[in-house]
Amino acid sequence: MIVYDGTKQDFLNSVDTDSIAEEIRDNILRTMGRHTPENEFKSWVNSMQYMYNTMNDPEIPFDAGVAIEFNIPQTAKRVDFMISGYDENGNPGMVIIELKQWEKLSKVEKSDSLVETYTGNALRKVVHPSYQAWSYAQLIADYNTAVQDDKIRLEPCAYLHNYKRRKNDPLDDSQYDPYTSQAPAFTNGQILKLREFIKKCVRKGDNREILYRIDHGKIRPSKSLQNAIASMIKGNEEFIMIDEQRVVFEEIIRISEKCQKDHKKRTVICTGGPGTGKSVIAVRLLAELTNRKQFVQYVSKNSAPRDVYKVKLKGKVKKSSVDNMFKGSGTYTETGRNMVNTLLVDEAHRLNEKSGMFHNMGENQIKEIIHAAGCSVFFIDESQRVTMDDIGSVEEIKKWAEEEQSEIFEMELLSQFRCNGSNGYLSWVDDVLEIRETANYSLEGIDYDFEIFDSPEEVRQRIIEKNRLANRARILAGYCWNWPREHRRDSGFHDITIGNFGISWNLDTGEAFAIGENSVNEAGCIHTTQGLEFDYVGVIIGDDMRYENGRVITDFTKRAKTDQSLKGIKKLYKQNPDEARRRAEEIIKNTYRTLMTRGMKGCYVYCTDPGLKEYLKKRLAMYAQAMKDRSVSTKKD
């Protein structure tokens, strides 16, 4: 959908009469029902003047098509500025321009797509403007039949008109070459270069014809995209399915394909504990349904699983359109009904009500996802809700599915493929943390390496030793230590200090904690590890969980001030202390349950509370004594 379109002459006239920003604003309200914030309106006024200066070149045809705020079909992404026409050989083409108001930026180490700049009233990590322009062009090329069938050439670029380029500018750092080589970034004083870039693609006007063809193109994945993700899955041991995983996979395929044939809305709720293969199934479905010519996306609230699965899919390939298939859960606040064929929502228990940087967008993420997809699939484990904002539950999904008149299907994954395939270990963790009483009072008969250590240094040494095997061992910790922003890239600063022991939280370097080569020297928290798995984990339990008077208790006052998981708990405590304590206990115990079940082969624990350490040791000693008694009994027989 195009918010504003016209010819180059129409655009110049609108800027000349100072009406261009008002036209864009009014069209957005009319077509999308969205009111434009004042800062966005001002940015149009500024940027459109720069684009006026750029387009004011007689060699750029006056009947070339111009589109502003082009909403890429079936997404919430909008392209800032597009120019359409024909090159000197008569081939159709379109220039895609991403406009930025930025004046400064710095690079993010070990990332080929992220930079840091001041935006939204804070210093934030955002994608490099060349990456953004390239990804928009790739998204259109991958899913728009007009571009595919008519061989329309897409040329992306970025224009940072307020940005003063300097020598050895971070904007041009070699780590961004995969994208700057495909989508050059033009800055203040480079209007002549930007004009030349436009004229390589647009030398003859089209009177908006190409814009019309793209705007009305049908949506289907290109053959190249189908082949790319199919080849990434093939032979990749990370995504092999076994037993009931395959059964669930095939059933979801059947349901999704049925939606495409009869155009009826359906919602699948697939429950399963840690390690039952929810994420593996989601990624395999992403590949298979794409290969069946569906528009499919993998969705999660946290970026950590998305980042890791993208890397595992792509391997050594850095630049791939597969990136566009992984989306955050707040993507669908403005997406129309059934605009996406199938949405695969991993870690659905982590979904929020509101979206956006300030939690002020949309109504409800579950509702918006079901609304946007013909078939919505939610993979969920309610026992892994770990923040006050987590609303994902089976009942909540059912409620919104019924409101959207979507047929509901429920499935369950039972077999455990993490923790050495032991459901018994998971049940023991529930019992030992007093989450629920189970029959697994000890670890008897459970093949899992679990130890309690007297110092965090012992945990670190064991994890370093295990990590040498395959870079699949990590230290994790409860969020009881602050994570100050100014030290998030400083490996010499130890956020977590316990006596002489010190370690940094996972560094903010752009490298995924779960697979980074140096991450074994850092500590991960619930937000960087949930939804992921390792061979071995070392877990540091902080003062927010203790053992007192014969009970495992929790204490939300010991959580770090920088932790947002319990945001609002103090206010709730003043209003309803019992409910606040109940909510806090659920979140804190779910957090440690989740951390202690990230390891497939073993878990090593250190507790800051001596009472909890001794309690856990006694529970382990019962197992050791039982094994000893059994051995003596066997010898007597």
- 144, 72 Cβ separation under 8 angstroms: no
**Interatomic CA distance for residues 270 and 56, integer angstroms:** 56
Quote the pLDDT of residue 420: 64
Residue at a domain's end among 181, 215, 249: 215
Total domains present in the chain: 3
Task: Specify whether 498 is located in the same domain as 579.
Answer: yes
Q: What 3-state class would DSSP assign to 249?
A: helix
Is residue 172's pLDDT more than 80? yes
pLDDT level of residue 633 (50, 70, 90 thresholds)? low
Quote the pLDDT of residue 637: 53
Quote the pLDDT of residue 508: 83
232-268 pLDDT, tens digit per residue, is 898 787 888 888 899 999 999 999 999 999 999 999 9
Task: Specify whether 403 is located in the same domain as 483.
Answer: no
Report residue 285: phi and psi, to 5°.
-65, -40
Task: Specify whether 378 is located in the same domain as 347.
Answer: yes
Average pLDDT over residues 476-492: 90
Is residue 474's pLDDT more than 90? yes
Task: Specify whether 85 is located in the same domain as 145.
Answer: yes
CATH code of the domain in which 343 resides: 3.40.50.300
Q: What 3-state class would DSSP assign to 206?
A: coil
In whole numbers, what is the pLDDT of the chain averaged over residues?
Answer: 92
The amino acid at 160: L
Selection from 80, 12, 23, 83 nearest residue 49 by Cα:
12
Report residue 455: phi and psi, to 5°.
-145, 150
Quote the pLDDT of residue 523: 97
Is residue 635's pLDDT more than 80? no
Task: Specify whether 437 is located in the same domain as 347.
Answer: no
The amino acid at 458: E
Average pLDDT over residues 143-155: 96
Q: What 3-state class would DSSP assign to 354?
A: coil
**Interatomic CA distance for residues 210 and 90, integer angstroms:** 12
Selection from 426, 409, 379 nearest residue 595 by Cα:
426
**Interatomic CA distance for residues 524 and 503, integer angstroms:** 10
CATH code of the domain in which 620 resides: 3.40.50
Task: Specify whether 487 is located in the same domain as 402.
Answer: no
Asked which of 130-139, 396-405, 494-503, 617-626 is least confident by mean pLDDT, the reply is 617-626
Quote the pLDDT of residue 315: 80
The amino acid at 629: D
Average pLDDT over residues 29-37: 82
Q: Can you list the positions of beta strands (E) in 416-500?
A: 449-452, 473-477, 496-498
Task: Specify whether 188 is located in the same domain as 260.
Answer: no
Distance of CA 45 to the CA centre of its chain: 32
Quote the pLDDT of residue 629: 56
Task: Specify whether 516 is located in the same domain as 424.
Answer: yes
Quote the pLDDT of residue 628: 57
Quote the pLDDT of residue 86: 98
Average pLDDT over residues 273-279: 89
Helix (H) or strand (E) holding 107: strand 106-107
Average pLDDT over residues 4-17: 95
Residue at a domain's end among 384, 413, 442: 413
Is residue 334's pLDDT more than 80? yes
Task: Specify whether 71 is located in the same domain as 17.
Answer: yes
Its pTM stands at 0.86
pLDDT level of residue 631 (50, 70, 90 thresholds)? low
Contacts of 291 (CB under 8 A, 6+ apart): 226, 229, 230
Q: Domain residues for 155?
A: 2-215
DSSP string, 23-82: HHHHHHHHHH--PPPHHHHHHHHHHHHHHHHHH--TTS-TT-EEEEEEE-TTSS-EEEEE
Beta-strand pair 114-119/106-107: antiparallel
Is residue 510's pLDDT more than 80? no
Report residue 370: phi and psi, to 5°.
-65, -40
Residue at a domain's end among 413, 434, 453: 413
Quote the pLDDT of residue 14: 95
Residue of higher predicted confidence among 62 and 422: 62
Task: Specify whether 530 is located in the same domain as 475.
Answer: yes
Task: Specify whether 570 is located in the same domain as 627.
Answer: yes
Task: Specify whether 367 is located in the same domain as 263.
Answer: yes
444-469 pLDDT, tens digit per residue, is 778 899 999 999 999 999 999 999 99
pLDDT level of residue 489 (50, 70, 90 thresholds)? confident
575-598 pLDDT, tens digit per residue, is 999 999 999 999 999 999 999 999
Is residue 40's pLDDT more than 90? no
pLDDT level of residue 312 (50, 70, 90 thresholds)? confident
Beta-strand pair 2-7/65-71: antiparallel
Q: How many residues does the chain have?
A: 637
Average pLDDT over residues 206-213: 96
Selection from 159, 163, 153 nearest residue 133 by Cα:
159
